[in-house]
Amino acid sequence: MGFAKRLKYRLSDLIKLEKPDALSSRYGKAFERAVLALIKAKDSVAALRTFIENYGEPHTGAFSKLIKLMPWAKRVVEIEPAPPVFFQLDGVTITAQADFIVKYSDGKKELVELKSHILKRGEWKIKAEWSLATKIMRMLYRKAGYDYPLRLIYFVEREDGVVTEEEVFIYPKDEKDDETLLNVLRERLKKAITGR
């Protein structure tokens, strides 16, 4: 593969997920903290207060999304930030980090990747990249000893308003499944290193 310009890449950089601007990044971090508060307190008002404390001002869209997450939040009994994971591929370290590890009342655990961006019509490419990144993240966490399903939660703009959508990834399940994703990663890595 030749000498890598960088020996460490974030999964989001390899998949070329759109980087948020400073305001969007602040919003995303505030929203993530608000979801933690929502699950721990089971209270949307406490979650909104947490959001405002971290974002600096109220945001009607954030409040609406937090309300939409309540049905899922009520099923969660434990939540903690997910640890970062590291994976060596062809001499290069790839890092990834989901948002949370959660535990439900039945004892089952899941990793959770939460997207605060609202998908609009025509943004199917963004959704496809999210799905690819989630599958690869599931593989990297499984290889690191966290063999849990990975739940992708996101928001979609419909004619009648914004709705929450969820997908649970149990693929890839084993080394055989990994081969396809490892080939994709190698291809993305090659592009990142050559700058194409």
Instruction: Write out the DSSP string of 96-128.
Output: E--SEEEEETTS-EEEEEEEEEEEPTT-HHHHH
Q: What is the pLDDT of residues 142-168, one digit of tens each?
A: 999 999 999 999 999 998 888 999 999
Does 155 reside within a domain? Answer: yes
Pairing of strands 150-158, 85-89: unpaired
Single out the residue in 42, 77, 112 at which a domain terminates. 77
Q: Give me the number of domains the chain comprises.
A: 2
Is 89 found in the same domain as 58?
no
In a domain, 25, yes or no: yes
Asked if residue 148 and residue 63 are part of one domain, the reply reads no
- Is 96 a member of any domain? yes
Which range is least confidently modeled, 17-21, 41-45, 137-141? 17-21
Same domain, 35 and 109: no
> What pLDDT sits at residue 6?
56
Same domain, 46 and 141: no
Q: Is the domain of 125 the same as that of 180? A: yes
Task: Provide the percentage of residues in the chain whose pLDDT is more than 90.
Answer: 67
Last residue of a domain, one of 34, 53, 77: 77
Please say if the pLDDT value at position 103 is more than 80. Answer: yes
Q: For residue 119, is it within any domain?
A: yes
Together in a domain, 104 and 172: yes
Domain termination site, one of 27, 48, 77:
77
What is the extent of the structural domain holding 115?
Answer: 82-195
- For residue 9, being part of any structural domain is answered with no
pLDDT at 190: 87
- Are residues 43 and 120 part of one domain? no
Task: Examine the domain organization and report whether 71 and 102 are in the same domain.
Answer: no
User: Based on the domain organization, do 89 and 127 belong to the same domain?
Assistant: yes
Q: Is residue 42 part of a domain?
A: yes
Judged against a pLDDT cut of 90, whether residue 60 lies above it is answered with no
Average pLDDT over residues 28-46: 92
- Do 108 and 49 belong to one domain? no
109 and 73 both lie in a single domain: no
Q: How many residues in total does the chain contain?
A: 196
- Tokens 């601007």 sit on residue: 21
Residues 128, 159: one domain? yes
Q: Is residue 157 part of a domain?
A: yes
The pLDDT of residue 196 is 60
Three-point CA angle 134, 184, 88, nearest 5° = 80
